[in-house]
Structure 1
Amino acid sequence: MSELIYAGSLKTLEDEGAKVIKGGSHAIAVFVHEKQVYAVDNRCPHMGFPLHTGSLCNGILTCHWHHARFDIKSGGTLDPWADDVATYPVEIKEDEVWVNPVPYNKVTVEKLRVRLREGLEQNLSLVIAKSVVGLMEAGFPATEIAQVGVEFGTTHHQGGWGSGLTILTAMTNILPKLDKTGQILGLFQGLVHVARESSGRGTRFLLGPLPVSDEMNTQSFEQLSEWYRHCVEVRDSQGAERVLLTAIELGFSNEQLADMMMTAITDHFYVNTGHTVDFHNKAFEILNQIGFEHRPYVLSSLLPGIGNISRSEESHSWQSPVNLVKPLMEAFQELPDILANPLAQGEIDVDEAALVKQILSDNALKTVNTMLDALKTGISPVRLAQLVALAAAERISRFHVQNEFNDWITALHTFTHAHAVHETLRRSTTPELTRAVFHGAMSVYLDRFLNTPSARRPEPKNIEAEPQNPAELLEMMNQQQQVTESARWVVNYLARGGDKGELFNTLGHALLREDAEFHSFQMYEAAMVEHERWEIEDSELARHAQETLILAVTRYLAGHAPTARETPHTARIAMRLHRGEKLFEDE
């Protein structure tokens, strides 16, 4: 039992109205109101302002900084953005007032979890930030924090899966690359984007599966796949949802569900400039993190968007001046036989560096044939997808700033699509999904003018010197138009043997300290994961690929910084409040 703290005589407190006493690590404000004594944490739970300077009227304690109001008896707030204030037991012994420093309403992990949900529901960034900080500092699993956001975002957004859930998934994926502060910022950024995107968008109710009869079994998967494919083809999102939920109800595996869904999406070329494939990949990735019991809401959230998607084979750029559609359709007819009867892996050497160079060339038809030949000689679709992703990253690493600024995103779309295809093929390889590798390669081809002129790849200097301090890179990105300078810095850092782990954490902070737009989050995560896939190899191509990916993400982030940094500022306020720092005093 905690030792009581003497607050003074009752008469003195009545004369003073309010008094501050030390309650362990922080201060407690003691008030006398209507002949009753109350004790509350002296820190306003909104932003830490001292409550003893506030006003107490009719049982309501008001903080004068932002006018947050609290019931003096329970500590409950009338303002959802402010949080409840802790209250303490008070004992009066012969005109002496004593306070128990153990609060009635102690903050628990469950309360923080509930508060996080409330912050998402009301789109309150500071509430979300304080909840994330509290949960992370309490050792609550990061994936379970993400789960709260996924459950909310897939339910309270009639438009379904979007950029917010994609950011949250991407940041959850790369948490191991970040220090603790970076992890807090990453989760917070993802959750804030989910809240913003869902605000006012209504609740999504599942339609439910078709009636499951005894005759239905695993043999009905082909039939359901045909139905699903047709529903997507005619943009029938409701029909597709019922078929999907039926497949889930029947217990089909994640691999089967992924094959069914990705087949329908890749029936058309580079759908929605690659976002649809990326969203599908991210949905399956987050299921691996939070558990497959969430499949109904997570996977069905992908379907509202199919009613209004763009199909690139219908666009002019894919048909003129070079018709890309016809040779691709002819190539796709060969894929089932090629993948069913490839030569043994490694039986014929494929010059992979030359293949990447061909994908980057201005001869699209030769690229299609070269890729088909590579598959025939035994290269796996997964490896081919990895090489296409590398070619797409090369476009960004050589993107010249003489292009229009928005053209960064054009090259980014191709890279993130190629990355999503690569990751999806790692889970399951089918001829239908392999088509998307070719879609990505043709998008690389169409982006070729973004490398005209082509930015020069920096050459390292003074490689015998010690690696630079990564803080220099952050300082450099405090200024605009530091794309070339940042690339040079990174090349020198790598050549001098700089620690990649520190670099990746630094690049993560370069992203998370900004009011970054959606595509910057995609860029960082995709580059980090693709780099990881190349790290297991020891070859000249692998080393070149790793440097290319680092250059690409560095140049992209430098090109999009600095910003006003309003969102991360909110998170840092929450961190300071958790440490008990006084925001109302000069630093």
Structure 2
Amino acid sequence: MKGWIQAGTVEELREQGPKLIKGGIVVFYHEEEVHALDNRCPHLGFPLHMGSLCNGILTCHWHHARFDVCSGGTLDPWADDVPVHDITVHDGLIWVNPNSRNGNQIQLYKDRLLSGLEQNIGLVIAKAIVGLMEAGVPETEITAIGIEFGVKQRRQGWGSGLTILTAMANVLPKLDKQGRILALFQGLLRTARDSAGSGTRYLLDPLPNTGVSEERLSGWYRDCIEVRDTRGAERVLLTAVQAGADEKRLFSMMSIAATEHFYINGGHTLDFHNKAFESLKYVGLEQRKYVLASLVPMFGDASRSEELHSWQSPVNLVQPLKEAFEDLSNKGVSSDSGGSGFDDEVLLQTLLGDEPLRTVRVLKEALLGGASPVRISQIAALAAAERVVRFHTQNDFGDWISVLHTFTHAHAVHEGLIRSTDPWLVRGIFHTAATIYLDRFLNIPAAPRPTATGAAEEVPQPAELLEILDKQQQVAPAAAWVIRYLRSGGKPEPLFSVLGHALLREDAEFHSFQMYEAAVSEYDRWTSESGPFAEKARETLILAVTRYLAAHAPTSRETPHTAKIAWRLHRGEKLFEEE
């Protein structure tokens, strides 16, 4: 019995009761059989030898989780199964295998993750993530399990949970190991919550004739979306997928419909499209149709901003934009993403100004003059971030969401134009510009931009920011600390990691995840450039995410606490301490 642990005699176990042996294993004698299990309750680590065993059921006395003593299976899914160890008896001596009988640990953790998602059980999800990461499973593979689950198990289609999961998968390189565990847990848990009680989403069949041209399919798709016929749109989309249309063409087809009307669903529609297409790099080709089809239902009751009073009065933004789109369509827009053809600072200030008709004219002339749509959208995203930086805390708290929506929509337009050269997507730039204008009152009065006054001789420790964010209403102090850190020579990498922890340690609301990921992505787009404008742009993006996170912290932090419990259980730490 090399390597096995000797656990005494059967007679001793029968007379003395449960016995603890090396490796945190407890051995029971029950109904004339010997059983060996991990002594820690898989729920919160309570010692199972202090529980009770009756009729083959082992009950933990801390939260009353029940386990089949033979298999370790639980009757209470929120507790998870307890590992069981094989035993053998020779000449009255009990020998226990120190390795549990679970076999393929990686497959077990994958199965447990899927079960946790299906049952919406946070601790099971967290433990599976920790187990998979400790076993060396790539984080992209873990992400794929959640995406594939979410696009099939939410009848309403793509939602906030999948958006958070994709966003957090995108920022994993910015985070340390603990941060990556928290990021995946937040994304997977939100996906499970989003899908709970929804019901399985079944795809329609594509059209029988796949010989229809892509141009005609695109037209059909737009026509269906125009009249909110989501079922017809889904069949057309799946026909294009089956016909072999590549991602660029599919994105063009779908983004045209998403920009056909103004700022649909407060910017969420285009942002969700961007995230769904980003998620494709995490899943296999066979899942592509599920991901893309999940976007269609949101058009069924989508709000269209050209129908809103604020877009038509006191300044009519709708008609000038329609006229601009017609001019751009007639004269053509260059899809070249090379040069800019305009002064960055001038365009930035124009977008932040209070003359929307002039802004429309400047944007149109720049595009017709051959300016890069990608560059213009990048400056528009920067202007939207500036609105967040100058957002005054005297505003209604709910108005943070307004400037956030503008920024994330601007980011989606920017990423979309990088992905696709379709000229119709430039309409999104104008939608962004209009919302930047409408948000102007949220900068009146404008919050002062922090200065370098009081810069430290030594670089402050990034952890200091977490201490600041342990208190409410620390928007200005947090922004001032960031400026002091940057002007003292602090590197952005540890700062983004700390900001990630500032987000992930909270029970953050959906928009905070959007803010962090969009700011990180936009920041990275500026890292290849030098000069005062690019340097200030990077600073603006860091300030924007810092101020937003500071405004929404602290919270009760229940979600990250669950992840920490899972990590401690995996490492064998005690959560229950006896007096």
User: d(CA) in 2 for partners of 1:355 and 1:11?
Assistant: 86
Structure 1 residue 395, shift from structure 2 partner: 0.1
CA contact 2:337–2:374 (8 Å) conserved in 1 = no
RMSD between aligned alpha carbons?
1.6
Residue 314 of structure 1 is matched in structure 2 by: 307
Is contact 1:2-1:101 (8 Å) kept?
no
Q: Secondary structure at the match of 2:125?
A: helix
Match among 571, 576, 585 for residue 577 of structure 2:
585
Deviation at 1:96, TM superposition (A): 2.2
Query: Per-residue CA shift, 1:119-146, capped at 9, x if unaligned?
Result: 0000000000101111111111111111
In structure 1, how many angstroms separate the alpha carbons of the residues matched to 2:411 and 2:336?
26
Residues 282-334 of structure 1: per-residue CA shift (max 9 Å, x gap): 10000023233321110100111111010001111111111111111111112
TM-score by length of structure 2 reads: 0.97
Matched, 1:229 2:222: yes
CA contact (8 A) 1:155 1:205 kept: yes
The 2-side partners of 1:107 and 1:565 are apart by: 33
Give the conservation status (yes or no) of the 8 Å contact 2:59–2:66. Answer: yes
1:523 pairs with 504, 515, 525, which one? 515
Which letter does structure 1 place at the counterpart of 2:315?
A: V
Q: Is the 8 A contact 1:342 1:375 kept in 2?
A: no
Supply the distance in 2 between the matched residues of 1:9 and 1:586 (Cα, whole angstroms).
28
Q: How many residues were matched structurally?
A: 579
- Paired residue secondary structure (2:89): strand
Please name the residue that 2:273 is paired with: 280
CA distance in 1, matches of 2:2, 2:371: 69
Distance 1:343 1:530 in 2: 20
Conserved 8 A contact 2:312-2:318: yes
Are the counterparts in 2 of residues 473 and 489 from structure 1 also a CA contact under 8 Å?
yes
What's the counterpart of residue 49 of structure 1?
46
Instruction: For 1:552 and 1:540, locate their aligned partners in 2 and report how far apart those are by CA, in whole Å.
Output: 18
**Structure 2 contact 333–368 (Cα < 8 Å) conserved:** no
Tell me how far apart the structure 2 counterparts of residues 225 and 201 of structure 1 sit (CA, whole Å): 30
Q: Does 1:36 align with 2:33?
A: yes
Match of 1:429 in 2: 421
Separation of aligned partners in 2, 1:487 and 1:3:
58
Alignment of 1:5 onto 2:2? no
575-584 vs 506-515, greater mean Cα deviation: 575-584
Question: Which of 232, 235, 247 is matched with 2:240 structurally?
Answer: 247
Q: In the TM superposition, what are the counterparts of 1:401-440 in structure 2 within 5 Å?
A: 401-440=393-432
Distance 1:2 1:52 in 2: 26
TM-score when normalising by structure 1: 0.96
1:487 corresponding residue in structure 2: 479
- In 2, distance between residues paired with 1:467 and 1:129? 35
Structure 1: any 5+ residue segments left out of the alignment? Answer: none
Q: Tell me the amino acid that sits aligned with residue 514 of structure 1.
A: E
Equivalent residue letter for 2:282: Q
Alignment of 1:293 onto 2:286: yes
Task: Find the counterpart in structure 1 of residue 196 from structure 2.
Answer: 199
Residue in 2 that maps onto 1:496: 488
Distance 1:358 1:222 in 2: 36
Contact 1:161 1:279 in 2 (8 A): yes
Q: Secondary structure at the match of 2:397?
A: coil
Classify the secondary structure of the residue corresponding to 1:256.
helix
- Of 121, 126, 135, which aligns to 1:124? 121
- 1:86–1:106: 8 Å Cα contact kept in structure 2? no
Which residue identity lines up with residue 51 of structure 1 in the other structure?
L
Q: Is 1:545 paired with 2:542? A: no
1:304 to 297, 303, 308: 297
How far does residue 377 in structure 1 lie from its aligned partner after superposition?
2.9
User: C-alpha displacement at 1:62, in angstroms?
Assistant: 1.1
Q: Determine helix, strand or coil for the equivalent of 1:92.
A: strand
Q: Which consecutive residues of structure 2, in runs of 5 or more, have no partner in the other structure? A: none
**1:568 aligns to what?**
560
Residue of structure 2 in register with 1:209 after alignment: 206
Summarize the Cα distance change of 1:440–1:334 in structure 2 as closer, same or farther, 3 Å threshold. Answer: same
CA 1:268–1:509 in 2, change beyond 3 Å: closer, same or farther? same
Where 2:64 maps in the other structure, the secondary structure is coil
User: Alpha-carbon deviation of 1:154?
Assistant: 0.7
Q: How far apart are residue 38 of structure 1 and its match?
A: 1.3
Match of 1:445 among 416, 421, 437: 437
Task: Quote the residue 1:336 is aligned against.
Answer: 329
Deviations 1:524-546 (A, max 9, x none): 00000000001110121111110
How much does 1:11 deviate? 1.7
Q: CA shift at 1:43, angstroms?
A: 1.3
**SS in structure 2 of the partner of residue 549 of structure 1:** helix
Deviation by residue 1:60-109 (Cα, 9 ceiling, x = unmatched): 11111111111111222222122222222222222222222232224611
2:14 matches 1:14 = yes
Aligned to 1:179: 176
The one-letter amino acid of 1:85's match is V
